A and B are shown apart, each in its own frame.
Chain A
Amino acid sequence: MLGVIYAILFYIATAIIVVGVAMRVRTYARTPAPLKIPTTPAPTTGWGVFWRMVREVLLFQSLYKSNKWIWLFGWMMHMSLWLILARHMRYFIFESYWWIDAVQFVGTYASFTFLFGLGGLLIRRFAVERIRYISSPSDVLMLLLLIGIGASGSLMRFVTHTDIVSVKAFMLGLSRFHVGHLPSDPVLLVHLALVITLMIIFPISKLMHAPGVFFSPSRNQIDNSRDKRHLAPWAAELEK
């Protein structure tokens, strides 16, 4: 019964995050940028923009310029998240790959840096007057949700181990549209329920910053306005 409920929820959540994000991304991609507005100094070539984007996405360059504390907490949290996600890959595929095995160790301890970063961000939301002012309930809830996921996950890894082999079998079953048995371990159920929640709200929340950053004209445009004419389709209509 539990397995069926979670299976259905996982299918719904997967559909929502995949279709939802795809639709948002399609909207961003199709919306024209009528003017050249890179924040300068900006790269003058496509490769230059690629590297600017890499520095933004992997190093959080602009955030680093802005505020070292937000950068430290935010960067730790995001990089830990990548490691944790990579580590989790082995629960969804039958045969693990070498790189998944390789991140098992760091991925395990990344949960501490993940929670540390989130804790720092949460404290800042309340402790710094300016950030308290701009925070909505959803901003706090989002952090709590991630903390909940991280904490329940760590709990299963370090304190009360769940039957991970059954969990893996359940997940592999889902990928073949076969609903198997899911251990009724409460920590596991909380962990999975929070992950499902995260997947569902992804496309309708500020989590869209993840794909959104790639579409930011001030970051992804090439500074070549004197060399190549830039014209949006609707603006071209004005010239007729």
Chain B
Amino acid sequence: MPDGAEEFRKMQHALDVPCLKPGAMEGVQPFKAKPEHQEKVGMPGELIPDWKEKALEKMAELGEKNRAFKVYLDTCVKCGACTDKCHYFLGTGDPKNMPVARQDLLRSVYRRYFTFAGKYFPWLVGARDLTEDVLEEWYSYYHQCSECRRCSVFCPYGIDTAEITMAAREILDTVGVGQKYSNEIIGKVKEVGNNLGLNPKALRATLEDLEEDLEEDTGLAVRLPLDEKGADILLITPSADFFAEPHIDGLLGYAKVFHEAGVSWTISSYASEAANFGLFIGSYENMREISLRIRKAAEDLGVKRIVFGECGHAWRVAYSFLDTLAGPFDFLDQKYPIPQHILEFTWDEIQKGTLKFDKSKNDDIRLTYHDSCNVARASRMGDMPGGQFEIPRNVIKAVCNNYFDMDPDTIKESTLCCGGGGGLLTDDLMDLRIKGSSPRMTALQDVTEEHGVTHMAAICAICKTQFSKVMPKFGYEMDSVVSVHQLVSNAIILTGSNDGESAEEETSDE
């Protein structure tokens, strides 16, 4: 059945708490950024001589600029509520992967230099000096956090470890210790317009190929327009949608929905990326610069609306931060949410009755849905709180007959991270990614046993890539993860279509 299944780590239960294994993940860390990567994010190329002063200066600055950082460092009472909530802790047993312990790696230094108790009674409150070893420890364990916010749901003060992780990464960047994966990618967005470094020509060729495929499948001119001025909608989607599986099938789904809804839309080659890794490294400035590209593209193309494709952290930055970073968007049509999620768009059209489906086209799969962390806990869809849970499920149920939720403690606001978010989707962290995904995979295995679930849908480019990599380790085919709009694409009945073979059959040969 599965291609390369050498291991099937099934935990007893998805949320089983392991015994502590101190040091289990010590020293595990991703490749460090080279000077050329650092430069592109505006950071020093290597560890600067006065790193200690600069790190403490940055810490002080963050305390003045970010209330969350200040309040979260002060208010933790070490109650332990978060200790069993992190998927990396559940998967590795390393106590420093418990959210509070991860925060304490930085809090201990904050206390030493910025609090009365830590200055005069460090042993009493667990305060410690900032040394190069501490810096290394930070680099290691702050890259074992996917900034998924699961801990913040359960903290009585809402302390969000993601905020501390972002701050730590920014401090590290400031003294010249950056992460290659994230910083290199940010450089590519700034230079070329997307994470892949796909230039406009290559992008156009890719989209034209896909248009041909679509025409073959449907007999209709379903378009994937690029840089078309005067279009109504600008689609901002993760660049993985242009080439990776199963992402690309989702893109074809968006195109079919737009086609059937009869709206004019376009992709921008200048802002051909929804992802914003500025979030991962905690850099407001980088996040803003990347967001401003989207604004510029919208202005240049003269669109009326902005719609985002399926991507978790991108939707967080779009929904929660875009107006802050690149607003106000008074030049767009105020009748529509700014920005709008593709699932909000599709669900609206379904409710209007514009879209018709043949649900039996998805009868070969039995499905569950993975709530992506950033969508679940850091954004919303629709008008009501919790719309981010209901709308994707509504769309899935409109196009698919066999749907089953996973364990309620592992979905919606309690959803488990895929294990690859927050800038960790890099091969040099593969071991961590597999271990971090094991709680989610266990919950999936449970619904497979109980309901015969064969596939899991996701609405995040990182989740999709991560799952297609790790699922074979847990006894699933790599294409067991699907895009929600891939399901839409399979089932949608296009007006006037010759209804050829389904798009899925076409692409699964590749």
Q: Measuring CB to CB, which residues of chain A are less than 8 angstroms from any residue of chain B?
A: 24, 27-28, 31-37, 39-44, 56, 60, 62-63, 65-67, 70, 74, 121, 124, 128-131, 133-139, 141, 201, 204-206, 208-209, 212-213, 215-219, 223, 225-226, 229-232, 234-235, 238
- CB neighbors of A among B5-63 (8 A): 17, 19-20, 63
B368 within 8 A of A: no
The residue of chain B having its C-beta at the shortest distance from the C-beta of A217 within the complex is: B68
A229 touches B324 (CB 8 A): yes
Chain B residue numbers with a CB within 8 Å of A230 are 323-324
Chain B residue numbers with a CB within 8 Å of A130 are 17, 20, 80, 83-84, 95, 98
Q: Which residue, B70, B95, B156, B160, has most C-beta atoms of chain A within 10 A?
A: B156
Q: How far is the CA of A168 from the CA of B20 in the complex (A)?
A: 51
The residue of chain A having its C-beta at the shortest distance from the C-beta of B387 within the complex is: A41
Interchain CB contact (< 8 A) of B83 among A134, A137, A212, A223: A134
Chosen A-B contacts, 15 in total, with CB atoms closer than 8 Å, are: A24-B74, A32-B65, A37-B160, A40-B380, A62-B155, A66-B81, A67-B80, A67-B81, A130-B17, A134-B78, A206-B76, A212-B75, A216-B72, A218-B158, A234-B65
Q: How far is the CA of A75 from the CA of B104 in the complex (A)?
A: 24
Chain B residue numbers with a CB within 8 Å of A204 are 115-117
B255 within 8 A of A: no
Chain B residue numbers with a CB within 8 Å of A62 are 81, 153-156, 158
The stretch among B118-126, B230-238, B419-427, B442-450 that forms the contact with chain A is B118-126
Knowing A41-B380, A41-B413, A130-B84, the reply to whether A63 touches B320 (Cβ < 8 A) is no
The stretch among B221-229, B258-266, B371-379 that forms the contact with chain A is B371-379
Chain A residue numbers with a CB within 8 Å of B19 are 129
B285 within 8 A of A: yes
Chain A residue numbers with a CB within 8 Å of B64 are 31
Knowing A39-B152, A229-B324, the reply to whether A28 touches B67 (Cβ < 8 A) is yes
Interchain CB contact (< 8 A) of A37 among B115, B153, B163: B163
B131 within 8 A of A: no
Q: How far is the CB of B73 from chain A (nearest CB, A)?
A: 10
Chain B residue numbers with a CB within 8 Å of A37 are 68, 160, 163, 320, 378
B124 touches A136 (CB 8 A): yes
A216 touches B157 (CB 8 A): yes
B153 touches A238 (CB 8 A): no
